[in-house]
């Protein structure tokens, strides 16, 4: 870097599980954007960035020429232990597991699966997919006061950016908390962390027809089912409708 110049850094947290603090030694950073949208300048010594989030920051190289670390918390892993494996071209070894697989059935006791079912029963309860009218205004309250998995949850919505109009700690109060919404200059984001023991309120206009996935960006939470989807209907005009599938697309 050249002394006296200002640089734009684009930072993403590509981790699967952890929120990170990030700082540059002896320098301040000015946040000017997040998730592809501009923000009013916000100068800080560090940023907190959650999985899937992005930040655009300005860095002024105003310190004396030297080497300065850009870093977050780093915990080195323990040295890995290597297993003993067959040679890559050992054909006999490659079929040993496959050749030894057998079901639990035998001629006297046929296996019909757990509880007599050949396939698992589908869950009858869960988060239903929501159908949204085209161009409707949607408000979602994300509540993070669960007893289990008490941590921040970076929630990401595909296909949209949304306005973060409010947040707080404790349980959301539908009568009191909306009075404190920021309806003047709320940030526009596509990933927002729900604070542990807190809540976040977001709003967006359903102007992009299709099926859109919303999920926690912590991988294990997603696999546990912290996810849902929105079906946004087509609008009246062709430009507000999903394109039909290609004519040569194979049917299911």
**The domain that contains 225 carries what CATH number?**
2.60.40.420
DSSP strands (E only) in the chain = 6-12, 20-24, 29-34, 37-44, 46-49, 54-60, 70-71, 130-132, 137-143, 153-157, 162-169, 188-189, 191-194, 198-205, 210-216, 227-232
Structure tokens at 14: 């590509």
Residues 90 and 188 in one domain: no
In a domain, 109, yes or no: no
Residues 234 and 136 in one domain: yes
Q: CA 168 to CA 191: how far, in whole Å?
A: 17
Residues 224 and 133 in one domain: yes
| Confidence at residue 176, expressed as pLDDT on a 0 to 100 scale | 96
Q: Which residues, including other chains, have CB under 8 Å from residue 71's CB and lie 6 or more apart?
A: 22, 23, 25
Q: Is 38 left (phi over 0), alpha (psi -120 to 50) or beta?
A: beta
Q: Is 174 left (phi over 0), alpha (psi -120 to 50) or beta?
A: alpha
In a domain, 114, yes or no: no
In a domain, 122, yes or no: no
| Confidence at residue 65, expressed as pLDDT on a 0 to 100 scale | 81
Residues 79 and 14 in one domain: yes
The total number of structural domains that make up the chain: 2
- The strand pairing partners of 230, in sequence order, are 130, 212
Residues 94 and 145 in one domain: no
| Confidence at residue 3, expressed as pLDDT on a 0 to 100 scale | 84
Domain edge (last residue) among 100, 117, 139? 100
Q: CA 153 to CA 51: how far, in whole Å?
A: 9
Residues 166 and 231 in one domain: yes
Residues 134 and 234 in one domain: yes
In a domain, 20, yes or no: yes
pLDDT in tens, the chain (252 residues): 788 889 999 999 988 888 888 888 888 989 999 998 899 999 998 888 888 899 999 999 888 787 777 777 666 666 776 777 778 777 777 777 667 766 666 777 666 655 666 565 666 666 678 999 999 999 999 998 876 657 888 999 999 999 999 999 999 999 999 999 999 999 999 999 888 888 999 999 999 999 999 999 988 888 888 899 999 999 999 889 988 888 899 887
Structural domain span for residue 183 = 129-240
Residues 91 and 134 in one domain: no
Yes or no: say if 182 and 206 are a contact pair by the CB < 8 Å rule: no
Residues 93 and 135 in one domain: no
In a domain, 105, yes or no: no
Domain edge (last residue) among 100, 117, 146? 100
In a domain, 116, yes or no: no
C-alpha distance from residue 71 to each of 36, 38, 146 (Å): 23, 24, 32
| Confidence at residue 93, expressed as pLDDT on a 0 to 100 scale | 76
Domain edge (last residue) among 79, 100, 121? 100
Residues 82 and 136 in one domain: no
Residues 49 and 91 in one domain: yes
The owner of tokens 């297993």 is: 83
Residues 96 and 142 in one domain: no
In a domain, 110, yes or no: no
In a domain, 248, yes or no: no
């Amino acid at each position: 870097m050249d002394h006296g110049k200002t640089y734009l850094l684009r930072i993403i947290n590509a981790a699967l599980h952890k929120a990170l603090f990030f700082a540059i030694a002896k320098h301040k950073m000015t946040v000017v954007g997040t998730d592809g949208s501009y923000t009013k300048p916000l100068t800080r010594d560090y940023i907190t960035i959650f999985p899937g989030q992005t930040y655009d920051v300005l860095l002024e190289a105003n310190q004396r020429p030297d080497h300065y670390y850009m870093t977050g918390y780093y915990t080195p892993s323990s040295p890995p232990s290597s297993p003993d494996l067959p040679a890559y071209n050992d054909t006999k070894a490659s079929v040993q597991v496959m050749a030894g697989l057998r079901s639990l059935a035998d001629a006297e006791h046929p296996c019909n699966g757990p509880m007599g079912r050949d396939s698992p029963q589908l869950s009858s309860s869960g988060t239903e997919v929501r159908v949204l009218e085209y161009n409707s205004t949607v408000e979602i309250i994300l509540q993070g006061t669960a007893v289990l998995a008490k941590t921040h949850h970076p929630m990401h919505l595909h296909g949209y950016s949304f306005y973060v109009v409010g947040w707080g700690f404790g349980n959301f109060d539908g009568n009191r908390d909306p009075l404190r919404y920021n309806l003047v200059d709320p940030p526009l984001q596509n990933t927002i962390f729900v604070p542990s023991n807190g809540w976040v309120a977001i709003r967006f206009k359903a102007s992009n027809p299709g099926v859109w996935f919303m999920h926690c960006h912590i991988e294990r939470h997603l696999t546990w089912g912290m996810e849902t989807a929105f079906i946004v209907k087509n609008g009246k005009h062709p430009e507000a409708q999903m394109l039909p599938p290609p004519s040569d697309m194979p049917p299911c």
